[in-house]
Each structure stands twice: as C-alpha cells, then as structure tokens.
Structure 1
C-alpha cells in the first residue's frame, strides 16, 4: 500500500461528509457540505445529482485541510450513499432529471404491481409476501417509464447515487454488489439479474441502462480521473474502492462481521441488520441478501418505522418544557411495565415483522395513577419490545449473539438499558459514532492492500467504547409484558377491521 491514510465519504440525506482516517481508525479531520432536497408534491423527494458532486469536492478538500496530512499520503477512498436514490443520466453522466431520493414513495402503485407478479426474484421481500417498498429501484424505474417515458428513452444510464459518484470519480459505470442485492433484486445464488421480473414488467431494456460492471464492497474500481483528482484536490494515484448503501457499510464501521452479529441502527426509525447463518426467506423479514456486505455471509434485515420520532412526538406535544434528563430520571424510577401501561410503537405503520402499513400506535392500560413519566417509559419500552419482536422473527437463520448500536440512542443511556433488558443481551457502543464513514474507510484501506480482509480491517480500526449489560431480573419481568405486546397488534387489527 502506498500511503498511510484513507478517506471515507458518506453521502447522506442532508449533505455529504468526508473523513480522513489513519490505519488505526483514528479520525484526523472531517468536513461536511450540505445540499438541498426538493419536495415537489406529497410523497415526493428529489435532489440535484450535480449538487452531490459539488459537495464531494468541498467535503474532501475540507477534510484533508482539517486533518493536516499531506495529500501524497492518501492511498484510497471509498463512498457510501443513500439507497435507493435513483438517477437517470445521459452518456456523459449528466442528469436528465433530479434524482428520486430514497424517501420518495411516489411509486407505490408500481410497487404493488411488481409484487403482484409473484416472480421468484421477490423471495427477498418476505418470501414473496412483501412488502416491496416504493423506495426500491424497480418501482422507481417503472414509475419513470410510465410517467416520463421520454426521460427513460433518452437515458443511457440508470443507477443510484452510489453509481453516479463512482462514475464521476473513475469514469467507470460500475454498480456495487451491495446495492444490487438488497434493492435491485439481483441474487448471486439465483441467477444474478432479475431478467424474468424485468420481462414481466416490460422493462427488459432497463438492463442495458444499468451498469454491466459490478464490484463488491472492497474491490478497487479504479484510480481517480484527472478531472476528479483536480475536483477533490488529490492525486490521480488515489484508488477508488467500492462501497455501498450507508447503513450496510455502517455494519463494517461497527465491526459487525460474523454470524450472530447484529447492527442496531437507531434514530427517528430503527434498522436491524444481522449476519445470518445461511440463506432464508420468510414472511416478516427482508432478505436474506447473499454476498451483500461480505462474501458468503448473507444479511437479514428488519426495521421499525417509528422509534425516536415517537419519543420526539411525546416531548413536543406533552412535555415541551421538560428536559430529557428529567423525563429519563422520572421514568427510571418506575418498574418495568410502567405499572400496567403498554405502548404499541406502530405510529406510522409496521415495517417488520407484520409488514402492515395500516397498523397504528396505541397506549393501553391507562388509569388515573399514571403520569407523563409512565407514558414516556411505556413508549420507550414499546420501541424496545418492537426491536425484540423483529430479532425473534428472524427465526433459526439468525441467533443474536452480539449487538452493536449506532445512532441517536447511543447518547441515551436509559433507552440503551431498556433495549438491553428487553433483549436480554449486552449492547456494544463503538468509539467512532460515524459508522458509515468508518466503514467506507475500512473498505478503502482493504482495497488499497493495507489489510488481507475486511475482517482484519475491522479488527484494526473498530474499537468498543463501552458495553451495556442487561439486568436479567428486569429481563424476566419483561417476559409477560412482551407477551402482551405481541398480542396487542392482533387485537388492535381486529378493532381496526
């Protein structure tokens, strides 16, 4: 490996951040550059891909300046980006329209039509039972075909944010195996490209526009082009290594590498990404995605639509002047179960394990004894019990042995403790909070030859900061509460219907 430093680039929803790392995982300098999101209609969200490129140049130059390292010491870079953020480009890679951002759900009818085909490629969507999110590649591409056929006809390249950035950096139209397997219905164990599904949708011509080159995370795509090197303020000797979708590359940045390891990514919503023991497809889970992050280790996926957003909703509406520290202290004084209060966390529907968009939240068991502290604790417990329900739904394919947490909950000890207690497992918190950036940096270092494997890169560059141990007495107390939580969904569905 030529050089002693690497750059991790994280293309997020609000902006792009770059970080310079040494080979021990120490962040030496970072810089972020924002870009705007346009919401042209309800359910729609778009960005200008050229704004990503401008932000990439600004962020990389700023991070290198902040780090103080010589540009000659930078061996490689890798990127992670939002997914599935779909772009339509001309031959030169110029955007023909704004992207359809990952959160854009205009293609809900297309998603339903695709699921109705029953094609075998849909096995990754709850074993064919769904859901198929309108956020994914095929629904968005089908929406463009139906509503803007001239755009699709003119496009010679249809891909993702990841592919756009890779093309601008290297001049190579190359997709990440990560994105393909988990959002494009590409399956390494079942024939690769979803040709039969494309044919059913009259989208066979899309294959000609998708990248024909595929690189797995950690594979070298190529060196920076002279134009890209000038834009970033780097040399053309810097190698561009393939990354992928932000949350999945975050698994690497958390050191989640072995079967039984789970990345619990928290924030306004929760995402559960585990390394499964083998291939499985079942109702209530997404995946497994073969070779998605690591060769030969399938990834299983679950998610909660509303988590931190529920707590923010409660504080905003019912405790606007009360600091979180005070809310946590009052709730911590209460026993598990909040003295009979139970909350169901489906405020914006349920993603997994019920895959029910019409599911709704509930607070049951209210008495005149209960206070805001009871409600606050019950809401947190409802979120944590929802996480346990997802882990249980993974079944025999995934036995949780190790859980590593990233995101907003890492700054909330009370919330972390209830997660540990409901799961009955310890939770690890790593030193580097920017897990996607670090994951990209590890891939860059591996691709540049600093490590023999991605695993070795994780061992060298990821460190545990602290461990939250479960209170097993509390775990036992949660057993009957968990049973009530699981029953509540079905009871509420009967009332709704």
Structure 2
C-alpha cells in the first residue's frame, strides 16, 4: 500500500502525518521549536530548528504508522505564511527568521500601502491596509534597518521556501505564497516590479526565487542528505505546498465556487473560492490561481473571536465549565434578552479594516447573567462572520461552509453560526486539515490522482452537517441590524477618547 507524508509547519511545532490514500492518518510525529521575542512587537525563530523538527517529526510519524521508507510515494509541506528568511548563497540563515506575527515593519507597511501601485488592488482595491506581516514590509525593514544583512543575503523568501530548499536543494517559491502575500499576480503582470521600484527595493527581485511552482506540482527529488535526515529514501518526490490556512482549504475539500473554509481559533479566517475575480474595499484578494488553477480565492478575517471568548471565561466565568456556559446560553433566546456585543476587541480586519475599532457590550440590565454575556459575545462573532460573507458581494455566493478549528468543539457556537448565516455548516473527519491538504497535494503530485479535486474527493470525508434553524435566523434579522449599526454609532465615542 502506498502512503504520503503531509507536513504542517506551525507556529509552535512542526507536525508530520503519514496518510493512506483514503485520507486517514496512520501515524503522527511532532517536533517543537521556540520563538524568541527580542522586543515588543517582534517575534523570531531559528530556521535550523525547523529542519531539526522535521527530522524528529517524520521519523516519529513513520514509526507510529509502522510503514517503511519504500512505501512513501511523496511528501509535501505547508508552513506559516509571511515567516521571512534571509539566507546566504549556501542557504544558511544570516539572521533569525521574522515570524509571521512579527509586526516591527508597521511603518514600512504604511509606506507600501501608500505607494499607489496597481498591485495594491489585492489590498481592498487600494483601500488597504497592508499588514506588516507581509513580505514587502518585512523586506523593506531589513533593507533599511539591517542593510548589511540585506546586502549579504543571496536568498530572501519564506519558511516554505527554506524547507523545500533543505528537502530538494532547489530555491523555488510557491505560487500560493507569492500570490497572496508577495503581490504577485498571474492575471495582472506577474511580479510587482513597479512597486519594488517605487519602494527602492529592486534588489529584492534578485534575491527572491526565480522559479515559481504551483501547489500539487513536483519540486524535485529528496536529496541524499535530506533523506538521511528524515529517514526516507533518496529520490522521493517533494511536492509543492503553501501557506497553512490556504492549504487547509484543500484538507477541508473546499474546491468549488461558492464554497468557504472557515478556520476558527483565536481568530477566524474565511477563505472562499470565488466565481470571478473581484477587487473591492473590505475584500482581501482575490488571489488568482492561489490554490487551484484558474480559480480566484477571496479572503476575509476577524481579528478576535476565540480570544474574546477566552477573555470572558478567564475574567468573568473562570469557575464555570464551558459545558455549563454553553447549556445556559443555549437556553436563552436569540439576542440574549436585549444584550448586544461588538466583537472588535482587537480592531476589525474585514470588511472595515479598522485597527482602532473596539469591542462593546450594550443593553446590560440587572437581570443579565454571565450566560447572557457569553451568548451575546458568541452572537457578535457570528454576526461578524455573516457580515464578511455578505461583503464578498457577487463574486462569492455561499453554497457550502466547512469549519475547522476551535469552534468545532462547541455545538452551541456552531449552531449559532448556522442560524445567523442561515446556511448549513459541515465538519470533516480529519481535524488536521492543513496536514491533510499537504498530503492531498503529495498524492496528486505523485500521480495517484489526476487533479487536486480528485484527491479531495478521495481523501476528505464530511462527517456531520449543522442545519440552520430558519425561525431563529428570522429572529436574528433585527438583532443583526442593531449589530451593523453599532460600529457607526460608536465612532463619535471613540473619537472623543
């Protein structure tokens, strides 16, 4: 029997899964690494730690699966996005990597956003913002604040590119990463050369990989040295992956126009397959060919979702189990008996792209309990998701939503999502959607499936569907209208602070 390995390079660790061709994980391994925070707003990792973790994780996964190296037909990886590396000509790091969450380049991000280049259509059709997490702000920061390192670097790329370099010896970029975070556009001129010129970054183009490989295509064979490190056979095909959440779309089987992957956790990420390209305020993307050939991907996100629930639980209901909170909140009617919340505790990413917006809870009376507040907070998060889906406009008419992450552990939260949206939600068998997405790409690149779509059909299984209660959906209509009004109503109060 043939197997494939899907690697998921996350923020705290790298996980390797051995999957069979039906999409079932047969063995898992994990290698942890550390993040350093040299100053507020800065976060760094040592790329050598990723490589060490890969050796640990793959060997553990192989042992757990009980399969031999000759049974592995291909390997592919996804990694954190916008984790930027600067390497010498031999591929050795010149400094620690700037982790995705590193926001030291906030001034540079504002400069990129203000340069007026057509490539900014990916950022709300020029309305912005550009995140300091993205490639260009970080590279511009390096050029300005560590100019010797920037000049000495022969290769500047991402975690994804570094890992593939160590696996194959080839310096290539993933079409996924460059289209959604490097301002590369397959339908609009390719590389952002005019933007680089405006920013004084023309030298960066010579440091970026010159070859781009799309997800699901073979990069090259595993080198002898890499094979020895991982415990695999030299020559094993290494297939291109990409950024973790986007590859998670594949692991959730979200492939067709109108389908949305909702990745939940401390924040929510909404990634949909659009019917056509669109560039508009409040919309990130669309990114053409980002995951699937010929299909634009649309992006939205909420900055604080699970983190809001964790804040409430920690500060106001620490002794109450989540099971009790969920049961008490579920017994309340929609709208929590007049209580309304705004979920902007850390600002709003889309559609307002307002970093200074703040959360609110209004309508409090002496009758309200922690369960009321909990329900209002959950509802506000779900309203935020509904607003994002509606803001996508004509390019994305939601037909199917597949959910992964922390919210899937709460049937109550899932039901409120379904009720506020008025749409069914689906859950899949494999919880590690990113690793499975990488495995599907590996299997496709190895020739087991003729396309990524076919790989998804064979390896992804929907296990349950949460149907909306349309009576509750109707009851939410006036409450949702109040939610929409809250953002504007709070502006004068914020400006008076």
State the TM bucket, normalised to the shorter chain.
Answer: over 0.9
Deviations 1:277-296 (A, max 9, x none): 11100101100000000001
Q: Give yes or no for contact 1:75–1:237 (8 Å, CA) kept in 2.
A: no
2: CA distance, partners of 1:451 / 1:184: 30
Q: 2:270 aligns to what SS in structure 1?
A: strand
**Matched residue, 1:402:** 400
**Matched residue, 2:437:** 439
Aligned with 2:183 (options 179, 182, 185) = 185
Cα offset, 1:248, TM superposition: 0.1
1: CA distance, partners of 2:482 / 2:257: 30
2: CA distance, partners of 1:34 / 1:474: 44
Aligned with 2:484 (options 483, 486, 491) = 486
Cα offset, 1:51, TM superposition: 0.2
Cα offset, 1:71, TM superposition: 1.2
2: CA distance, partners of 1:229 / 1:322: 50
Deviations 1:131-168 (A, max 9, x none): 10000000000000010000000000000000000000
1:252-267 to structure 2, matched below 5 A, reads 252-267=250-265
Q: 1:284 aligns to what SS in structure 2?
A: coil
**Matched residue, 2:145:** 147
Deviations 1:169-200 (A, max 9, x none): 00000000000000000000011000000000
1: CA distance, partners of 2:89 / 2:188: 31
**Matched residue, 1:295:** 293
Backbone CA RMSD of aligned residues = 0.5
**Matched residue, 2:384:** 386
1: CA distance, partners of 2:60 / 2:142: 36
TM-score (norm 1): 0.99
| Residue 343 (str. 1) matches residue 338 (str. 2) | no
Runs of 4+ in 1 over 3 A off after TM superposition: none
| Residue 106 (str. 1) matches residue 108 (str. 2) | no
**Matched residue, 1:206:** 204
2: CA distance, partners of 1:294 / 1:132: 24
Q: 2:290 aligns to what SS in structure 1?
A: strand
Q: Give yes or no for contact 2:76–2:438 (8 Å, CA) kept in 1.
A: yes
2: CA distance, partners of 1:418 / 1:322: 21
1:76-475 to structure 2, matched below 5 A, reads 76-475=74-473
1: CA distance, partners of 2:492 / 2:32: 46
Q: Give yes or no for contact 1:264–1:272 (8 Å, CA) kept in 2.
A: yes
2: CA distance, partners of 1:80 / 1:4: 21
Q: 1:494 aligns to what SS in structure 2?
A: helix
**Matched residue, 2:22:** 24
Q: 1:293 aligns to what SS in structure 2?
A: coil
Q: 2:194 aligns to what SS in structure 1?
A: helix
Give 5+ residue unaligned stretches, structure 2. none
2: CA distance, partners of 1:368 / 1:320: 21
1: CA distance, partners of 2:162 / 2:491: 43
1: CA distance, partners of 2:212 / 2:234: 22
Q: Give yes or no for contact 2:223–2:235 (8 Å, CA) kept in 1.
A: no
Give 5+ residue unaligned stretches, structure 1. none
TM-score (norm 2): 0.99
1: CA distance, partners of 2:344 / 2:402: 24
Cα offset, 1:494, TM superposition: 2.3
1: CA distance, partners of 2:458 / 2:214: 21
Q: 1:403 aligns to what SS in structure 2?
A: strand
2: CA distance, partners of 1:267 / 1:490: 27
2: CA distance, partners of 1:118 / 1:383: 33
1: CA distance, partners of 2:454 / 2:27: 23
Q: 2:289 aligns to what SS in structure 1?
A: strand
Cα offset, 1:396, TM superposition: 0.6
1: CA distance, partners of 2:83 / 2:235: 29
Q: 1:88 aligns to what SS in structure 2?
A: strand
Cα offset, 1:237, TM superposition: 2.7
Cα offset, 1:493, TM superposition: 1.4
Q: Give yes or no for contact 1:25–1:460 (8 Å, CA) kept in 2.
A: yes
| Residue 55 (str. 1) matches residue 53 (str. 2) | yes
2: CA distance, partners of 1:204 / 1:243: 27
Deviations 1:281-331 (A, max 9, x none): 010110000000000100000000000000000010001111000101110
Q: Judge which range, 155-164 or 361-370, deviates more.
A: 361-370
